[in-house]
Amino acid sequence: MGEPRDEFAGAGARARRALVREVEAEGELADPAWRAAFEEVPRHLFVPYYYVPGPGGYERLWSGDPDAGRRERWLRGAYEDTAIATRVRDGELVSSASQPSLMALMLRALDVRDGDDVLEIGAGTGYHAALLCHRLGDRHVTTVDLDEEIAESARTHLAAAGYRPAVLAADGARGCPEHAPYDRIVATCEVPSVPYPWLAQCRPDALVLAPLSTGLVLLRVPDGTHAEGRFLATSAYFVALRGAAAHASGRGPAGDEGFRFLWGLAGEALDRREALSLWLREGRPERERFGVTVSGDRQWAWLDDPGGPYAWPLPEA
């Protein structure tokens, strides 16, 4: 028996082509391998239902809606270049599908090569893992999620699209030692610091890409106890590793994303006045000037120089 028939295949393919053109216009998908992945992996199979904000909370859209207009709206939304709320509990967001253009940026930064083994932290819908499978092959991809229901759902979506990576219900902070070592580790959920087990499960010179504060830090791992790297230029908002909704803290000047990033990174090390003074004194520094260093059992964030005057300890991983 083959895969179940996809009644939205034709319309989905047209919508994917439009999405690819939009993401390309933003400067992503220059790599033909990633372009092909976004063109061929059917995102709508990974979001058979999702939620959109409405006046009284969230409205559910789904593929099986008896109303043809609402089904069309569901399919159109599945291919918009936006994040999609996929699980809501008691009015709170607990899982989402990331914005495709942000996924493309992260995959480009990950710089995978043929034969690389990748661990994804946060299975979500399974769509991101499917893109990795398309590029690398199923046996090179492992994805984990703490929530067993989410992991099972991701596994089902992946199988429906023809992909069968290793999907495990496990604590992402512990990595996945049974499939280690890895050449790349990518988190699709926010972390307060870099979990040490991730580094221990890396091959020498591996890369780790993870959301931290409201940015994305890319670390190179020379060995299992050391890592260092800088933040990418883009802002990034993700659901937190343990499943609680991750919102901007709001502690900084209203509307100033750059300041919120700095204060989120510094944590308790700076009060509002100190953080604002530093931010202004340094000329409203861009994200690329910040970085993270892990050395043994210590890790810290820094501005410009890992050994410079502006450094803040990160929470215990």
Q: ∠ CA 238-239-243 to the nearest 5 degrees?
A: 160
- CA-CA-CA-CA torsion sign (221, 223, 224, 225): negative
H helices present in the chain, as ranges? 9-25, 32-40, 68-78, 100-110, 127-136, 148-160, 196-200, 257-266, 272-281
Locus of tokens 């661990």? 119
How many C-beta atoms surround the C-beta of residue 201 within 10 A?
Answer: 22
Question: Is 95 an active-site residue?
Answer: yes
Copy the structure tokens of residue 119.
């661990």
- Distance between CA 9 and CA 108 in Å, rounded? 27
- Exactly one of 95, 101, 213, 235 is catalytic; name it: 95
Q: Which residues pair with 303 in a beta bridge?
A: 290
Give residue 248's Cα distance to chain centre: 16
HSE-up of 200 (CA within 13 Å, CB side)?
11
Nearest CA to 163 among 128, 190, 214?
A: 128
Task: List the catalytic residues.
Answer: 95
